[in-house]
């Protein structure tokens, strides 16, 4: 199985190199990046081929590609890969707008190629355990969620994360989609209405985009959720992000922390505490699922449609925050 990586604008791209090489059935054919210096440096560091253009990587004939560009560049890269008959694992959010997300899904459907959204939380062991207990009936009916996805200002990783044109927004865009996807997965229900408020209480002098948001979400079956999406953690916090929620069910409350499986390490050279994860590797499981879906010629566990539905909720949240009123889905 030959896989390439398109762009390292998103810092997850370098981790995916390790995930690909950990799969014995995969050959990393090479990487391409519109920032040549960055692409060449990463290719040299990891001992792989650097392609001068995205087209030249596609011409090399990989079976699939992982796309890690800026959010607003996902569409042209997905369409390029789909036109070449190449399967795609695309970073989240799948697009910065619903218009682009729909075009991405349509392009892959028309080309009959696999499109998978990079939602690694679907492969988190704690979250999968809860899903198993939901499906078995052990927890009874689910009533509601109180959820958080909080992290540090991502500017130190890549500047484009805080650029509205490149990212499509700020903390709301960055942190909402994971939780929306998990809730849709757990409830097997779509979002009907979104009410949202945003602010710049954090890092107001550093960035122009929102750094905090609170969203109230109602599903078609009447169940509901709140989501705190924020860049509220200080720069010396031991992790880049986190995802947790309390789920109220017929049998009681379930408190879930997807990043709980860690050891806190204090290192002088880092200048801050760090978390060393001892639990399962959700990214590895996600990449392996992409490879298995290609081999088995089937839809992956997380599809492009799942990515589209998450972006729809994000766009509805921005419309609500701007207008001050709840917004109904599906969007016109």
Regarding pTM above 0.85, the answer is yes
Provide the CATH number for the domain around residue 86.
3.40.50.720
Q: Which residues contact 252 (CB under 8 A, 6 or more apart)?
A: 139
Torsion angles phi and psi, residue 158, rounded to 5: -155, 135
Residue 234 pLDDT grade (very low, low, confident, very high; cuts 50, 70, 90): confident
Residues in the chain: 332
Is 297 a member of any domain?
no
Query: Percent of the chain, pLDDT > 70?
Result: 99
- Mean pLDDT, range 139-143, rounded to an integer: 97
pLDDT at 129: 95
Give me the phi and psi of 203, to 5 degrees please.
60, 35
Say whether both 131 and 266 belong to one domain: yes
* Same structural domain, 264 and 168: yes
Q: For the segment 268-292, what is each residue's pLDDT rounded down to a tens digit?
A: 777 778 888 877 899 999 999 999 9
Tokens 């078609």, residue?
220
| Arithmetic mean of pLDDT, 62-90 | 98
> What is the average pLDDT score of the chain?
95
Residue at a domain's end among 104, 120, 136 = 120
Residue 170: how many CA atoms within 13 Å on its side-chain side? Answer: 29
Q: Are residues 98 and 226 in the same domain?
A: no
Same domain, 253 and 204: yes
What does the pLDDT read at residue 117?
A: 98
Confidence of residue 244 (pLDDT cuts 50, 70, 90): very high
Do 177 and 322 belong together in one domain?
yes
* Contact yes or no for 312/180 (Cβ under 8 A): no
- Asked whether residue 104 falls in the same domain as residue 137, the answer is no
Calpha distance 88→106 (Å, rounded):
13
Give me the percent of the chain exceeding a pLDDT of 90: 87
Instruction: Between 303 and 265, name the one with better pLDDT.
Output: 303
Q: Where residue 255 sits, what CATH number does that domain have?
A: 3.30.360.10
Structure tokens at 162: 């805080």
Q: Is residue 289 in some structural domain? A: no
Write out pLDDT tens, residues 16-37: 999 999 999 999 999 999 999 9
What is the Cα–Cα distance from 113 to 207, expressed in whole angstroms?
38
- The answer to whether residues 172 and 258 belong to one domain is yes
- Residue 36 structure tokens: 């040549």
Q: What pLDDT is recorded for position 255?
A: 96
Could you report the per-residue pLDDT of 27-63, keeping only the tens digit for each? 999 999 999 999 999 999 999 999 999 999 999 999 9
Q: In what order do the strands lie in the sheet with 64-67?
A: 50-51, 27-32, 2-6, 64-67, 87-90, 115-117
Whether 227 contacts 214, CB under 8 Å: yes
Q: Give the lowest-confidence range in 8-17, 178-187, 228-237, 249-258.
A: 228-237
User: Phi and psi dihedrals of 5, rounded to 5?
Assistant: -120, 130
Helix pair angle (74-83, 98-111), 10° resolution: 10
Label residue 264 by pLDDT band (50, 70, 90). confident
The tally of domains found in the chain comes to 2
Are 150 and 79 contained in the same domain? no
Domain termination residue (choose one: 77, 96, 120): 120
Is 78 inside a domain boundary? yes
Q: Is the pLDDT of residue 122 over 80?
A: yes
Examine the pLDDT at 86 and tell me if it is beyond 90: yes
Q: Which residues, including other chains, have CB under 8 Å from residue 276's CB and lie 6 or more apart?
A: 262, 263, 264, 265
The whole-number pLDDT of residue 235 equals 81
Backbone angles phi, psi at 317, to 5 degrees: -65, -40
Lowest mean pLDDT among 62-71, 276-285, 313-322: 276-285
User: Is residue 87 helix, strand or coil?
Assistant: strand
Question: Range of 92's domain?
Answer: 2-120
Question: Mind listing the pLDDT tens digit for each residue in 204-215?
Answer: 889 999 999 999
Q: Between vectors from CA 189 to CA 185 and to CA 194, what angle results, nearest 5°?
A: 105
Contacts of 88 (CB under 8 A, 6+ apart): 64, 65, 66, 67, 78, 81, 82, 108, 113, 114, 115, 116, 304
Flag whether 313 is in a domain.
yes
pLDDT band at 145 (very low <50, low <70, confident <90, very high): very high
Residues 161 and 232 in one domain: yes
The mean pLDDT value for 225-245 works out to: 88
pLDDT score at 132: 97
């Amino acid at each position: 199985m030959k896989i390439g990586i398109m762009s390292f604008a998103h810092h997850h791209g370098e981790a995916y190199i390790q995930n690909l090489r950990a799969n014995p059935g995969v050959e990393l054919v090479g990487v391409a990046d519109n920032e040549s210096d960055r692409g060449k440096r990463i290719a040299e560091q990891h001992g792989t081929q650097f392609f001068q253009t995205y087209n030249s990587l596609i011409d090399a004939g990989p079976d699939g590609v992982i796309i890690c560009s800026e959010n607003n560049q996902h569409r042209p890269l997905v369409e390029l890969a789909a036109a070449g008959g190449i399967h795609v694992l695309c970073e989240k959010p799948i697009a910065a707008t619903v218009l682009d997300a729909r075009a991405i899904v349509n392009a892959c459907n028309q080309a009959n190629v696999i499109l998978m959204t990079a939602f690694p939380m679907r492969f988190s062991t704690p979250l999968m355990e809860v899903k198993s207990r939901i499906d078995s009936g052990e927890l009874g009916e689910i009533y509601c969620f109180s959820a958080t996805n909080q992290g540090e200002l991502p500017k130190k990783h890549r500047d484009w994360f805080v650029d509205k044109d490149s990212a499509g927004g700020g903390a709301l865009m960055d942190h909402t989609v994971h939780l929306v996807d998990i809730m849709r997965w757990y409830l097997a229900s779509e979002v009907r209405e979104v009410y949202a408020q945003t602010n710049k209480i954090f890092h107001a002098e550093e960035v122009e985009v929102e750094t905090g948001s609170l969203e109230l979400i109602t599903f078609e079956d009447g169940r509901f959720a709140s989501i705190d999406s924020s860049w509220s953690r200080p720069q010396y916090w031991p992790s880049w992000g986190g995802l947790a929620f309390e789920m109220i069910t017929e049998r009681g409350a379930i408190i879930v922390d997807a990043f709980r499986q860690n050891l806190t390490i204090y290192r002088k050279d880092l200048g801050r505490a760090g978390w060393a994860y001892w639990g399962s590797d959700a990214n590895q499981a996600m990449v392996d699922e992409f490879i298995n879906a290609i081999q088995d010629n089937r839809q992956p566990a997380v599809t492009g449609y799942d990515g589209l539905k998450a972006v729809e909720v994000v766009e509805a949240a921005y419309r609500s925050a701007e207008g001050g009123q709840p917004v109904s889905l599906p969007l016109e």
